[in-house]
Amino acid sequence: MSPVWSITKKELVSYFTSPIAYIVIAIFSLLSGFFFYSLVWWFNTQALQMSQNPYYFQQININQMVFAPLFHNLSIILLLMLPVVSMRLFSEEKKMGTEELLLTSPVSVIQIILGKYLAALIVLLAMLGLSAIPTILTFIYGNPEPVPYLLGYLGLFLLGAAFLGLGIFWSALTENQIVSAVLTFGSLLLFWVLSWAAYSARGLWQDVLNYLSFFEHFDGLTKGVLDTSDLVYYLSFAFFGLFLTHSVIQFRRWR
């Protein structure tokens, strides 16, 4: 069995034998269900009102009125909740002294990082998968466009993968899980507000800040536009997080 998968399995056991995974998944599902219900309720009200006027009635679009705002809401919830998923990945190993077991085993640091990251991605998939169940009902009772819907979830997954990449880096820096979560949350927030700063910036700065912001790249996906630059952004962000994690672990040993 691949050592990466062995570590992933071990991490999943840790997630699901502690309350963390259950609480995170339950709260995420609850909040996403609440937002979905509210948006569908609001959509119904709007649809009823607009049905009086054939012109407006044609403008009704469930993807734009329900899913796009839902995905934006879920992206903020991910920003709040994923630091809790990533906080223990390395912090816990350091605190328990088990990092020494991993690093003295014939397993490379890259395999350890990938194993842990994969487990966190599986938790993320479980969060998104469970939250998607009620939204599937709209395909039974309505006719949303599937492409923007699927791209929206792909966007959430990529966004989450980038968040977790940053989270695993912070967890490699400290043995305190709370510190790890707060640093992850703080730095994610910083990337979030970059787009606000971009409004007041001019020229090249505006472009750079816009490019760095998580949510600028998310907009297109929720509208059903698949731009490779967005994919590259999220994947390179996640990769950069993993690369920094590797550097931190190696630096600590070689200093």
Partner 1 sequence: MIETQQLTKKYGDLVAIQDLSFRVEEGRIWGLLGPNAAGKTTTMRILTGYLPATAGRASVAGYDVFEQSEAVKQSIGYLPETVPLYPEMTVESYLGFVAEIKRVPASRKKAAIDRAVQIAGLQPVRKRLIRNISRGFKQRTGIAQALIHNPRVVILDEPTIGLDPAQIKEIRDLIKSFKGEHTVMLSSHILAEVKEVCDGVVIINEGRLMASGSLEELARSYSQNDGVYLKLDRVDGEILGLFRQQLPGLKAAAVEGTEIRLEWPWGQDLRTQILRSCLERNLEIKEMRSLAMNIEELYLRIVSGGMKQ
Residues 57-96 that bind partner 1 (CB under 8 A): 96
Q: Is 176 in the site for partner 1 (CB under 8 A)?
A: no
Q: Which stretch binds partner 1 (CB under 8 A): 13-21, 22-30, 119-127, 133-141?
A: 13-21
Task: Report whether 202 contacts 223 (CB < 8 A).
Answer: no
Please say which residue, 100 or 227, places its beta carbon nearer to partner 1: 100
What DSSP letter does each residue of 144-203 carry, written as one string?
A: --HHHHHHHHHHHHHHHHHHHHHHHHHHHH-S-HHHHHHHHHHHHHHHHHHHHHHHH--H
Q: Is 3 in the site for partner 1 (CB under 8 A)?
A: yes
Q: What is the C-alpha to C-alpha distance for residues 28 and 98, in angstroms, rounded to an integer?
A: 30
Sign of the alpha-carbon torsion through 243, 244, 250, 255 = positive
Please say which residue, 101 or 232, places its beta carbon nearer to partner 1: 101
Q: Is 45 in the site for partner 1 (CB under 8 A)?
A: no
Q: Is 248 in the site for partner 1 (CB under 8 A)?
A: no
Q: Is 197 in the site for partner 1 (CB under 8 A)?
A: no
Task: Report whether 83 contacts 179 (CB < 8 A).
Answer: no
Q: Which stretch binds partner 1 (CB under 8 A): 101-109, 126-134, 153-161, 173-181?
A: 101-109
Q: What is the C-alpha to C-alpha distance for residues 111 and 106, in angstroms, rounded to an integer?
A: 10
Q: Is 55 in the site for partner 1 (CB under 8 A)?
A: no
3-42 per-residue burial string, b: 16 or more CB within 10 A, e: under 16: bbeebbeebbebbeeeebbeebbeebbebbeebbeebbee
To the nearest 10 degrees (0 to 180), the angle between helices 177-200 and 214-222 is 80
Task: Report whether 14 contacts 98 (CB < 8 A).
Answer: no
Q: Per-residue x/- mask for partner 1, residues 18 to 37, rule CB under 8 A?
A: x-------------------
The count of chain residues that interact with partner 1, using the rule CB under 8 A, is 25
Q: Which of 14, 38, 187, 210 touches partner 1 by CB under 8 A?
A: 14
Instruction: State the minimum distance, in angstroms, from the CB of residue 4 to partner 1.
Output: 10
How many residues belong to the chain?
255
Q: Is 49 in the site for partner 1 (CB under 8 A)?
A: no
In the DSSP assignment, the letter for residue 65 is: I
Q: Which of 102, 120, 126, 161 touches partner 1 by CB under 8 A?
A: 102
Q: Is 227 in the site for partner 1 (CB under 8 A)?
A: no
Q: Which stretch binds partner 1 (CB under 8 A): 26-34, 97-105, 173-181, 200-208?
A: 97-105
Binding footprint of partner 1 on the chain (CB under 8 A): 1, 3, 6-7, 9-10, 13-14, 17-18, 96-107, 253-255
